[in-house]
Amino acid sequence: MTVRRNWAARLRPVVIDGLRAVVLENERLRVTVVPDKGGDVVEFLHKPTDTDFVWVSPQGLRNPRDHLQGAADDVAQFVDHYEGGWQEIFPNGGAPSEYRGARLAQHGEVAGLPWSCEVAADSEEEVAIRLSVRTRRLPYRMEKVFRLRSGSAALEIEGRAVNDADIPLHAMWGQHIVYGRPFLRPGATIRLPEGVQVIPHATAIDPAGRRVAAGGPWEWPRVPAHQGCVTDLSVVQEQGSPSDIVYLTGFDEGWYEISGDIGMRVEWDASLLPYLWMWQELGASTGYPWWGRAYTVGLEPFSSMPTDGLAAAVANGTALVLDPHETKILRLRAEVLA
């Protein structure tokens, strides 16, 4: 039972489109988490400037359990219910894949599952909720704690992944963080540590073309463009610019900043998630599922690459290995730069 409080740090259970959700709020931030749908963060609002950082997709929030119509496949379960925002990705990243006889759908299992939720802290100084879930096709348990402190413009997260089996297992673990309007605008800038390298995805993700030329790796941020010359990846492009995904690596420290009139700084453990996926969908993709309506950039800390699924990450040696009954802990912090 939460204490009803309309000041300092506070919690509020709500229902959104039939889904259980929790609002964590203080003097500066309002963050909405949906335990019934993967623990997704569907709102990250900076109250003094009325700026929501997360992208809200045109289709909005949908309950994955209502997936009764249409042609179901290993992509539809995630994409047809993708509201934007911020997802936990585990144990498969990107395209459907098969691992040791288990067929894994787009972006794995946990993003579409309902998570249990309990209050971990509820005082004027701080509020926190603890979410937990078990995967269904692989023997994993996951937990994550969202924490918001009074007066702070930062959301703190601690995630745990536990291998319940007596054998070692592989996984991909990522934070699918995407930004959209009104925060994201052409000319917004992305700042990374020195020495980061850019690895383009092997093929174009959209038939209409790509922003970055195949090849690499290259040094961030100016890299060869697909149409010749160079492109500066640190600058967000105009509506209609080519869709693309690249992988950034070489982080001595895990952090990035994305800024326009206001900014966001995300910090994470780069020893556990050594890659940052940079996904750009700026309206050039006119087929399923975007239909030219998306304007979003994802900056997604990940354990592995590419976005071809767990089998590809195992093959190239980037997949996480969890030993029997091992627990891996991820700490992440997202702070508004006002």
Average pLDDT for 180-193:
96
State phi, psi for 71 to the nearest 5 degrees.
-90, 100
Going from N- to C-terminal start, the domains of the chain cover: 10-337
Integer Cα distance of 42 and 45 in angstroms: 10
Q: Mean pLDDT over all residues of the chain?
A: 94
Q: Check if the beta carbon of residue 83 is closer than 8 Å to that of residue 61.
A: yes
Asked if pLDDT for residue 68 goes beyond 60, the answer is no
List the structure tokens of 328. 């891996």
Residue 170's beta-bridge partner residues? 321
Higher pLDDT, 307 or 63: 307
Query: Span 168-184, mean pLDDT?
Result: 97
Two tokens at 101? 């006889």
Q: Is the pLDDT of residue 306 over 60?
A: yes
What is the average per-residue pLDDT within 240-256?
97
Sorted by sequence, the CB contacts under 8 Å of residue 85 that are 6+ apart come out as: 40, 41, 42, 43, 54, 55, 56, 178
pLDDT of residue 72: 66
What HEC string does 243-267 produce?
CEEEEEECCCCEEEEEECCCEEEEE
| pLDDT, position 110 | 95
Query: Which CATH number is 10-337 given?
Result: 2.70.98.10
Which residues does 73 contact at the CB level (< 8 Å), separation at least 6? Answer: none
Share of the chain above pLDDT 70, in %: 97
Using 50, 70 and 90 to split pLDDT, how confident is the model at 129? Answer: very high
**pLDDT per residue over 146-170, tens digit each?**
999 999 999 999 999 999 999 999 9
